[in-house]
């Protein structure tokens, strides 16, 4: 804990910002670069905590990295693997260590040891789909209890062999891990029911530049051929669709108008539809998207999160804040993670009228229908929001609280875990200030955690 955030709400956001590079792309691209010994240059790299962790992880195993933060570029080359042991201190740091297995298992005879998976506290976040797919390719994966936490040991002493893999759910991470491992697997690997998120497509484009023969086939199918010869790559990280949606919702919830330079239209399609359904406005330009408030938002909508091209699960938290400002009853059904409404407790504390349900309040029952998890909510709006002292549970909920705080009429203080936001939002405070938000970062004393 390094700082708190003090936010005075009630001010419409106005102005222009530029979208940062996508967190969920750049981190995977850095890991994918480990497949080869060639130099890779990434442009439009965001300066966020998740990139720092990934850079540290790659350096740990021997990558030579130059990160020019002014220029927003990272060059990375991994000619030799110094170690294949990812230390326990990275346990729970993010979702990247597990992907190291896919990138490295076909490149070395050594066993790869990675700590258990971390990330946001939004559900169990199992890795069974990753391990099943890697085992089908011939990797041996073992889970071991270490001193404090567990670790996965992975090896493919007899090499990997291409095969047909059907993912029971189109998991983003499992698709990425399988894709990476398939690059070093003998022959052809076919992945059925693969995730098709824009970040996966971007990874595929990167792999093609690297020299991999990879095809996207109908019905969520990806096919990869073993590759031994790689090329140097230059790749620009696409705009972060989560960051774009986050600022768009902050603009509309505060009844403002914000142009987001660099925002792409296609990955925002379902978000824009959802926004339009409640009366939020936007204009798409060749160099970005402008979001603006025009007249009172209409509730009465039913929204379901889903895998791409559906409404993304990372968008639902700030969207819930928008629904608290929309007239009528709206229903949100989370079908991707079983436990992603914990943050609504704080929104209620701030004045929102939100009811939670364990049922599937949706058109079709989802995977969690018989599991008794709170995964549907009903939001009644509009309700005024009141600033409070609050703490942040995870990254996207954190931004939802920022939107709520900017919408509230008085002051909100984020007293705990404000630094979670730095994991995924580049230059958050400065960006928000540049569009008129009254938000201040106050450093905390390192020992007593009181404001300095
Ligand atoms: C990625 C994104 C995250 C986004 C999510 C869904 C990154 C760093 N994070 O997360 O922002 O919310 O995609 O779009 O890219 N599952 C299993 N077994 C597995 C793997 C996943 O059951 O082995 C389940 C998960 O518990 C979850 C669902 O599948 O319920 C989706 O997970 P997944 O698509 O893998 O998400 P991430 O890759 O972790």
pLDDT tens readout for residues 38-72: 999 999 999 999 999 999 999 999 999 999 999 99
Catalogue all structural domains in the chain, each as residue range(s) with its CATH number.
3-19+239-443 (3.65.10.10), 23-227 (3.65.10.10)
Question: What is the C-alpha separation between 41 and 31, in angstroms, rounded?
Answer: 13
pLDDT tens readout for residues 289-343: 999 999 999 999 999 999 999 999 999 999 999 999 999 999 999 999 998 999 9
- Gap from CA of 171 to ligand 1 centroid (Å): 5
pLDDT tens readout for residues 108-137: 999 999 987 654 454 556 899 999 999 999
- Which residue, by CA, sits nearest to atom 22 of ligand 1? 126
Question: What is the C-alpha separation between 16 and 260, in angstroms, rounded?
Answer: 6
Q: Hey, is 196 helix, strand or coil?
A: coil
- Gap from CA of 391 to ligand 1 centroid (Å): 24
Element (H, E) at 428: helix 428-434
- Gap from CA of 121 to ligand 1 centroid (Å): 12
Question: What is the C-alpha separation between 438 and 421, in angstroms, rounded?
Answer: 17
- Which residue, by CA, sits nearest to atom 30 of ligand 1? 337
Q: What are the residue ranges of helices labelled H in 122-240?
A: 128-136, 172-182, 198-210
Pair type for strands 214-217 and 3-8: unpaired
Residue in 27, 99, 125, 246 to alter for ligand 1 test, most ligand atoms within 8 A of Cβ? 125
* Cβ < 6 A, ligand 1 pocket: 24, 95, 123-130, 169, 171-174, 195, 197, 312-314, 336-337
pLDDT tens readout for residues 153-193: 999 999 999 999 999 999 999 999 999 999 999 999 999 99
Q: What percent of the chain has pLDDT over 90?
A: 89
């Amino acid at each position: 804990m390094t700082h708190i955030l003090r936010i005075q709400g009630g001010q419409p956001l106005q102005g222009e910002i530029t979208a940062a590079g996508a967190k969920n792309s750049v981190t995977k691209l850095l890991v994918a670069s480990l497949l080869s010994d060639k130099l890779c240059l990434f442009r439009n790299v965001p300066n966020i905590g998740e990139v720092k962790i990934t850079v540290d992880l790659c350096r740990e195993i021997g990558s030579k990295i130059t990160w020019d933060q002014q220029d927003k570029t990272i060059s990375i080359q991994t000619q030799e693997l110094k170690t294949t042991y990812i230390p326990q201190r990275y346990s729970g740091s993010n979702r990247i260590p597990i992907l190291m297995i896919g990138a490295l298992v076909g490149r070395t005879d050594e066993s790869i040891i990675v700590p258990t998976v971390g990330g946001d506290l939004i559900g169990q976040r199992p890795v069974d789909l990753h391990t099943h797919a890697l085992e089908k390719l011939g990797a041996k994966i073992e889970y071991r209890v270490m001193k404090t936490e567990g670790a996965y040991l992975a090896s493919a002493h007899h090499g990997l062999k291409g095969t047909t893999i059907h993912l029971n759910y189109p998991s983003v991470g499992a698709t990425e891990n399988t894709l990476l491992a398939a690059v070093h697997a003998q022959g052809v690997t076919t992945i059925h029911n693969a995730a098709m998120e824009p970040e996966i497509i971007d990874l595929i484009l990167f792999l093609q530049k690297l020299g991999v023969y990879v095809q996207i086939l109908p019905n969520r199918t990806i096919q990869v051929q073993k590759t031994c010869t790689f090329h140097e790559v230059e790749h620009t990280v696409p705009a972060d669709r989560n960051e774009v949606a986050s600022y768009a919702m902050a603009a509309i919830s505060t009844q403002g108008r914000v142009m987001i330079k660099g925002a792409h239209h296609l990955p925002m399609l379902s978000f824009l539809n959802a926004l339009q359904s409640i009366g939020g406005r936007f204009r798409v330009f060749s160099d970005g998207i402008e979001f603006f408030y025009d007249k009172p938002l209409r509730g009465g909508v039913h929204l379901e999160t889903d895998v791409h091209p559906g409404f993304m699960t990372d968008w639902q938290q700030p969207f819930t804040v928008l629904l608290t400002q929309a007239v009528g009853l709206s229903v949100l059904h989370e079908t991707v993670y079983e436990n992603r409404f914990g943050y609504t407790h704080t929104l209620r504390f701030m004045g929102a009228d939100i009811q939670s349900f364990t049922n599937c309040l949706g058109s079709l029952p989802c995977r969690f229908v018989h599991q008794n998890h709170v995964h549907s909510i009903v939001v009644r709006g509009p309700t005024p929001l009141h600033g409070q002292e609050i703490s942040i549970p995870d990254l996207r909920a954190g931004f939802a609280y920022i939107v709520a705080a900017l919408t509230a009429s008085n002051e909100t203080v984020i007293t705990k875990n404000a630094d979670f936001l730095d994991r995924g939002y580049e230059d958050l405070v400065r960006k928000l200030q540049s569009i008129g938000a009254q938000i201040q970062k106050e450093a905390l004393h390192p020992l007593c955690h009181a404001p300095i």
